[in-house]
Copies of this chain bind each other. A is one copy, B any other.
Amino acid sequence: MASMTTGTTSRADANRRRILDVALGELLRDPDASMDQIARAAGVVRRTVYGHFPSREALISTLVDEAVQALSAAHAAGREGVQDPAESVARSVLAVWELADRYRLLIALAQRTVTMQGIRERLTPVREAATGVLRRGLDEGVFSSPLPAPALAYVHEQMLVALMEAVNDGLVAAREAGRCAAVTVLTAAGVPASEATELVAKLND
C-alpha cells in the first residue's frame, strides 16, 4: 500500500508523518540529534526511520522543504493584489507569522547551535545593559515600539547579525556598515529616519 488511492492513511504513512513531526521538535532541542534519538522520540526503532528516509540528510531535507513551502505560500498569498508596499509588507509578515507559530522552532533552530548557545549566554550582560537603555528611551518617549524593552533588545541583536551577514555577502560596504547599522537600529526603535541619520552623522564627524 505504498500510495493510497483512497483517503485512508496506512500505518506507514501515519508513522512517516509522526516521525517528521517529532523530528522537528527533536532537532530543535539539539540540531545534532541522532537518528536514534529521533526514532525513540517517535516511538519507533531506528531501523524504521531508515525505512522511510534513506538518510539523515533526506529526513532533514524533507522537513525543511515542508516548512519553506508553507512559508513561501503564505508570504505570496499575503501580498497578492496589494499595491501599497507598506501594506504589502504588513500583510506578508502577518501571513507568515501564522505559520511561524508552527515552524518558529525549526527556523530558530540554528540559534541553538552549541556554539551560538554559548555566545548568546555570555552576551547576556551586554543584552541586559542594552535593555536598560532601551527601556529608558521608551519611557522618555524617545523610542517608540509595541515591543517591551527586552524583546526590542533581541531584535537589535539580530539586526546586527543580519547586517554582518549582509556585509559578508557583499550587500553593504564594510566602511558604511557601522553607520547603517546604527541608523537602522535607531529607526527600528521608532526614531524617525531623518533624525536617526542626522544623529549618527553628527557622531561620525
Residues 129-146 of chain A: 1 if any B CB is under 8 Å from the residue's CB, otherwise 0?
110011011001011111
* Distance between Cα atoms of A194 and B114 in the complex (Å): 40
Q: From the candidates B109, B110, B122, B146, name the one contacting A176 in the complex (CB within 8 A).
A: B146
The segment from A12-20, A45-53, A163-171 found at the interface with B is A163-171
Render A63-84 as a binary contact track against B, CB cut-off 8 A, 1 for contact: 0110110011001100100001
Partner of A90, one of B97, B172, B182: B182
Contact of B179 with A94 in the complex, beta carbons under 8 Å: yes
State which residues 148-167 of A face B: CB under 8 Å: 148, 150-151, 154-167
Most B Cβ at <10 Å: residue of A79, A155, A185, A196:
A155
Contact of A85 among B116, B140, B166, B178 (CB under 8 A): B140
Copies of this protein, total: 2
Whether a CB of chain B sits under 8 angstroms from the CB of A190 is yes
Q: Which residues of B contact A164 (CB under 8 A)?
A: 100, 104, 107-108
Given A72-B126, A90-B203, A163-B151, do A174 and B101 touch, yes or no (CB 8 Å)? Answer: yes
Complex CA gap A193/B193 in Å reads 11
Q: Which residues of B contact A168 (CB under 8 A)?
A: 104-105, 108
A110 CB contact (under 8 Å) in B68, B105, B113, B196: B113
